[in-house]
Structure 1
Amino acid sequence: MNNINTTDKHPAIFIMGPTASGKTALAMYLYCLFPVELISVDSAIIYRGMDIGTAKPTTDELTKIPLRLINICDPKESYSAATFRSDALRAMAEITLKGKIPLLVGGTMLYFKVLLEGISLLPTANLQIRSQINTWIHKYGSNILHSKLKNIDPEAASKIHQNDIQRLNRALEVFLISGKTFTELTKHSDKTLPYNVHQFAITTEKRQQLYERITLRFNKMITSGFENEVRLLFERNDLHINLPSMRCIGYRQMWSYIEGKIDHNEMVYRAICATRQLAKRQMTWLRNWNDIQWIDSDRTTQILKKIEQIC
């Protein structure tokens, strides 16, 4: 992944990292010290009414430290990487015009990628084809998507987890609409990001430490009323398990529990396992990322001098 850093562009800061690594807390701390404004790069906290299970900052925190691109969608709505890029560029321009530096924080690596490199020239969604793909899922199970994609586009299949229904669905949809693979079409994109980007990745040196944080955080979600949050969503007649919002980790496991398909212990176990798998995928992305500076989550003061130089 190429990132063009030139001094004649306005600066921007990326803070990336696996889930539960402390990215948002660090970004909010930096907001208090430097002339930055925050933009979320997270495909889950865009949804209203999904607060506990997404580890969204509290209302009090957001009052003191605003975070853009949060609570911008209803859970019944879809939100694409292309839409994110457009929204993020607009927010970055507004921040720059105020004489401040955009600081983008989150763990949705695809969003960071399309922001840096431009959005691929992919066809727009086709409801008829999406319906056909959903029929395959109901008839044969979700694994059929990964098998079909592996036959059509092995490179894309190798990069998309077999449980990532949303991305598998989109890759198949692209092929069925255009006759060209997702890999082929994503090699061509529009303009790259017109900013001098400084990229940081926050993580812990020990994987087990991150896993313990994930477990503690999910258990805290349970005691904070996560089940009630999902029950309110479950009771709506316009939401279902195949929507991108309800496929979010934690929500799909809790949904299955509320439906009576699994018991409480199994729900907790599956949610924690899925979160750990997400963290592993995020780390894989980051290890293949160029121009990135690593920050230990237990020594975040490392970043202060570096941000000071940027500001």
Structure 2
Amino acid sequence: MNAAAAHRSQLPPAILLMGPTASGKTAVALTLARRFPVELISVDSAQVFCDMNIGTAKPDAATLALCPHHLIDLISPQQAYSAARFCADALAAMTAIRARGKVPLLVGGTMLYFKALLEGLVDLPPADPATRAAIDRQAATDGWPALHAELALLDPITAARLHSTDAQRIQRALEVFHLAGRPLSALIAAGRTQAPTSQFLAIGLVPSERSVLHQLIAQRFAAMLENGLEDEVVALREKYALHAGLPSMRCVGYRQVWEVQEGRAPRGELLERGIYATRQLAKRQITWLGNTLRPTTVDCLAADVDDQVAWQIERFLG
């Protein structure tokens, strides 16, 4: 055993359960919580927002009472959350869980957060409201594809992995360049500042048939609309000072409802647009799993998915 492997073997265990939207992560996690001495930590950049329940598929109150989730309902929809804060919050929760003699089970679909936890953080400049406001103004005039083209000149490596309408990440990459004077990709290549603090078992729930996942996505978004997603957005707008550029309102589902309520998209296209956006999200999540995170994969459509995941955990925990 080399030194790195020996070091990893001495780290306390933690389990990562990751997968695309609608892959059944929460249901599997709840089953695992009944079978193993685990506590759940949410790895979801949308479920951190208070009062955003329907569109984030947040576990209901009864489920949370039976099986509490850490890192849910942390901030208001007016605020922003980051991978750096997630790592700090997750590590604190993991420490507390271990102190209770249990194993952290981190569950979700925000792949950037998983990557930050596994590989450590890059030392990046903090968000700057003035810089972001200037970028937003330029985007309002020229459009995000134009800013993506600008990013391609300043940081072609980062631009190549971003869609031309990925406003949040294009904004952050441009912000970093303006504040640090160096491309985001160069800062990432320079090294990470925090090593993993656990021996992780990473399990990815990946569908064997993408078309079946697409059906599940369509059913779930339709159910969200039936359960009052549009009314939820109305209530959020009444309670908080929100605008379309906030991370909370950029979340899939909320963005599409916002556009309808602002008159920028037809009401009759809401279901179709929401399903399409969710499918695109799932596609990106699956790409992350296959190209970057590379967990042990289990077919989320398998009838015995719970048992397959449990078997992996039994081997890991010994």
* Shorter-normalised TM range: over 0.9
Deviations 1:96-122 (A, max 9, x none): 111111010111010001111111010
Query: Per the alignment, in what secondary structure is the counterpart of residue 7 of structure 1?
Result: helix
Other-structure match for 2:310? 304
Instruction: Quote the residue 1:249 is aligned against.
Output: 252
Q: 1:261 aligns with which of 260, 264, 284?
A: 264
Percent identity (aligned)? 45
Deviation digits for residues 135-169 of structure 1 (CA, Å, limit 9, x no counterpart):
11111122222111111111111112222211111
Residue 11 of structure 1 aligns with an amino acid whose one-letter code is P
58, 69, 74: which one aligns with 2:60: 58
* 1:54-133 pair list within 5 angstroms: 54-133=56-135
Gaps of 5+ in 1: none
Q: Distance in 1 between matches of 2:168 and 2:293?
A: 26
Deviations 1:8-66 (A, max 9, x none): 11100000111110111111110011000000000000001100001111111001000
Partner deviation per Cα, 1:161-185 (whole Å, 9 max, x = no partner) = 2222111111100001111000011
How far residue 273 of structure 1 moved from its aligned partner, in angstroms, is: 0.7
Code of the aligned partner of 1:309:
R
Contact 2:25 2:107 (8 Å CA) reproduced: yes
- Give the Å deviation of 1:236: 4.1
Residues 260-279 of structure 1: CA deviation (Å, up to 9, x unaligned)? 22222212211111111111
Gaps of 5+ in 2: none
Opposite residue 82 of structure 1, the aligned amino acid is A
Q: Which residue of 1 aligns with 2:160?
A: 158
**How many Å separate the matches in 1 of 2:159 and 2:109?**
21
Alignment partners' CA distance in 2, 1:223 and 1:212: 17
Name the CA distance, whole Å, in 2 between partners of 1:285 and 1:310. Answer: 23
Structure 2 residue identity aligned to 1:132: A
Asked whether 1:272 is paired with 2:275, we answer yes
Q: Counterpart of 2:237?
A: 234
The Cα shift of 1:234 comes to 2.5
Displacement after TM superposition at 1:237 (Å): 5.6
> Paired residue for 1:208?
211
After TM superposition, give the deviation of residue 310 of structure 1 in Å.
Answer: 2.8
Contact 1:136 1:144 in 2 (8 A): no
Q: State the 1:233 CA deviation.
A: 1.6
Name which of structure 1's ranges 239-248 and 122-131 shifts more when overlaid on structure 2: 122-131
Work out the CA distance in 1 between the residues paired with 2:226 and 2:200: 39
- What is the CA–CA distance in structure 1 between the aligned matches of 2:165 and 2:72, rounded to whole Å? 25
**Cα distance in structure 1, aligned partners of 2:147 and 2:99:** 45
Equivalences, count: 309
Measured against aligned partners, the alpha-carbon deviations of 1:273-302 in whole angstroms (never above 9, x if no partner) come to 111111111111111135621111123121
Kept after mapping to 2: 8 A contact 1:234/1:255: no
